[in-house]
Amino acid sequence: MKIYFSLFLILFSFHAFSQQRGGVAGQGQSGRQNKENLRTVLDDSTKTIYGMKTTKYMLKNYILSGDTISHSLDSSLTNFEKVYDDEKNLMALQSLGNIGTPLFDIYNLNTHFSLNSGLNSLDKYFDRVSSQTFYDTRSPFIDLSLFFGGNGRSLVDFVFSRNINENWNLGFDIHRISSDKQVAATKTKGDKNITSSLFKLFTYHKSRDKKLTFYSDYTSFKHNIFGYGGVDIQPESLPLDFFIYNDFETRLNQTENIEKRSRFNALFNYKIVSGLEVYNDITLYNQGVFYNDDNFIENSGFYENFFLNQNFTDDSIKLKTFNNRLGIRGSVKSISYNIFANYKNISFRYSPDRDAEKVNRLYVGGNINYSKNKVNIDGEIKIKTSGDYSLKGILDLGILNVSYHSSLNEPSVFFNRYSGNHFNWQNDFKSSFINELDGRIRLVNDFVSFEPFLKIISVNDYIYLSENRIPQQFDELIINNQFGVDFKVGLFNRMINLESRYTYNVLSESSENVLNIPDHHMYARLYYAGKWFDNSIPVQFGANTYYRSEYYGNGYEPALQSYYVQNSFMLEDYLRYNLFFNMQIKNLRISLKMTHFNQFDKFDGYFVTPYYPGQKKVLDLGVRWYFFN
């Protein structure tokens, strides 16, 4: 924290330095002019002339795709009450029932084209906060988010950014998650389940002639999971009549998962002539995943195999990645293009006493986009030297949106190689062949939005973590059809609003025991929106509703920090209500939420993952405050 505080003081010192320069600029003029200049400086410094309208940002990924439109800060109350990732994703993610726990996407397959570690259960915590953003703040800007949840759950996000001059911006982001155990806690406060911290330092510069653009950031991430292995029950005893929470026996005690990541990124973009630019995007990325268990006297019965040590477990995998992309891009009238070559080197090592293995990958690709009036057509292709490919196409006509994605994706490092105390394998899997077709029809007027959608996914040579926690490749064709509708309606001049989504899933018979997805999933947000106190205070209050039908949800293996397919523990269907009240006072937004309001009996409950109960009823408070100048 001393380092963070020092950086905070250094960045604020730029503001004082710029004011000093403004104050001495007129020393060669008459005394009267000096007084007028000084009065002007004082007047400007005492007025808030900056705000949400003057603070803009762009996203790196959009810029490389040709989108250079600056975006304004989010000031909406809609969905402001949603803090954790599973709620933001409409409960379409599995978790371990607490904020900061590993996540698994139930409805979307892992379709990484570029070779990666495969240890991705914490990706959303890293990616969401470390997203690469180009700020143009003009003044010092602070974005402060605070979340105080019941039962010792909290989240803090502090973003500082300022323009040193009109062409140079820098800033930093400090993000922290802390949550006590919600089940089997040994004390009323401080028995930690999750501690997570992320620090990002970033800068953005463009030359005065606007030909050269430079962006760079450094991100450091550490995530600790103090696990308990889930509650100790037998699947035959389901459904449970009583959820005793803190009185549950657990399957593990005093284990710890640690994940560390760091990333350095530098993007150089140079405009040669109008419509033609060259760029170089370099990324250095490190990931370390560790699992420690020194409590074998109590925990030995949980494990089936001991390959390295009978007394303790100290597993680790460390990966170092170098990625370099060179490309040319630009636009001609309504067409934008991006042609690139990408080189990637991954070095990984299991445990310090093993030799590192290295993998090199090279692919070329291109993206082209046509956008005019209400027609948007986008196409992208990537081809590896190994023959793997990724092909994407999007047609957006406003009322109709259709997309298609076909790819051959090679297995992750994790699926091909693993060496630890409890699991060990070496595979030579084939690339998985994936096809996805999405279609959506938009029927919208001033009051109602009705959008039916269809998604068809087919997979050949699907790779998954089996019930034995061993990777398997399934050589038959798997088909998943998803039908659904997004429905929105605003009544009484949008005073009463309903936003909802329903999805129905159909899996082919061949996917049995390989891919499990609930048949039904529903989300609804019913709320009142208005302005109180002479139309000066926007407010929203209402309820979020989540429903999921029963299914064999994936299990979680702590020693691998990964989810696996299981077919013995049935997750019951559940319906959950959250009540919320949101309000906004200028640049301050406040949310009060009763999570799992419909737990009317303290012994009611449900499982979100086998052996891991969902969050019980708690009161949560969230605050987000923008500061300018």
Using a pLDDT cut of 70, give the percent of the chain over it: 92
- With 0-12 CB in 10 A as exposed, 13-18 as middle and 19+ as buried, what is 194? buried
Q: Name the token pair of 208.
A: 């005065």
Confidence at residue 599, expressed as pLDDT on a 0 to 100 scale: 94
Per-residue pLDDT of 342-395, as tens digits, reads 999 999 999 877 789 999 999 999 999 999 998 999 999 999 999 999 999 999
Confidence at residue 18, expressed as pLDDT on a 0 to 100 scale: 40
Q: How far apart are CA 21 and CA 12, in angstroms?
A: 15
Number of neighbouring beta carbons within 10 Å of residue 576: 20
Confidence at residue 520, expressed as pLDDT on a 0 to 100 scale: 98
290: nearest Cα among 316, 320, 321: 316
Per-residue pLDDT of 233-259, as tens digits, reads 999 988 888 898 888 999 999 999 999
Q: Is 494 left (phi over 0), alpha (psi -120 to 50) or beta?
A: left
Share in percent of the chain as helix, strand, coil (round to 5):
10, 55, 35
Confidence at residue 14, expressed as pLDDT on a 0 to 100 scale: 41
Confidence of residue 47 (pLDDT cuts 50, 70, 90): low
User: Tokens 């170098």 label which residue?
Assistant: 322
**Is 70 in contact with 150 (CB distance < 8 Å)?**
no
Burial state string for 118-138 with b = 16 or more CB within 10 A and e = fewer than 16? bbbbbbbbbeebbebbbbbbb
Confidence at residue 51, expressed as pLDDT on a 0 to 100 scale: 84
Structure letter (DSSP) for residue 370: E
**Is 154 in contact with 626 (CB distance < 8 Å)?**
no
Using a pLDDT cut of 90, give the percent of the chain over it: 79
Please state the rounded mean pLDDT for residues 393-408: 97
Number of neighbouring beta carbons within 10 Å of residue 402: 15
Pairing of strands 389-396, 375-384: antiparallel
Order of strands, edge to edge, in the sheet holding 71-72?
71-72, 56-59, 133-136
Per-residue pLDDT of 526-556, as tens digits, reads 999 999 999 999 999 999 999 999 999 999 9
Residue 12 pLDDT > 70: no
Confidence at residue 132, expressed as pLDDT on a 0 to 100 scale: 83
CATH number of 48-628, picked from 1.10.10.10, 2.40.170.20, 2.60.40.740, 3.40.50.720: 2.40.170.20
Predicted TM-score (pTM) of this structure:
0.90
Please state the rounded mean pLDDT for residues 392-407: 97
479: nearest Cα among 436, 513, 442, 520: 436
Residue 10 pLDDT > 80: no
Residue 480 pLDDT > 70: yes
Per-residue pLDDT of 300-312, as tens digits, reads 999 999 999 999 9
Residue 337 pLDDT > 80: yes
Three-class DSSP category at 108: coil
Q: Where in the chain is the domain with CATH 2.40.170.20?
A: 48-628
Supply the DSSP string of 147-175, one letter for each residue: EEETTTEEEEEEEEEEEEETTEEEEEEEE
In Å, the largest CA–CA distance within the chain is 91
120 CB contacts (<8 Å, ≥6 apart)?
A: 110
Residue type, 295: N
Cis preceding-peptide flag for 239 (omega within 30 of 0): yes
CA dihedral 457, 461, 462, 465 (to 10 degrees): 170
Which residues on adjacent β-strands are paired with residue 390?
382, 407
Please state the rounded mean pLDDT for residues 572-599: 96
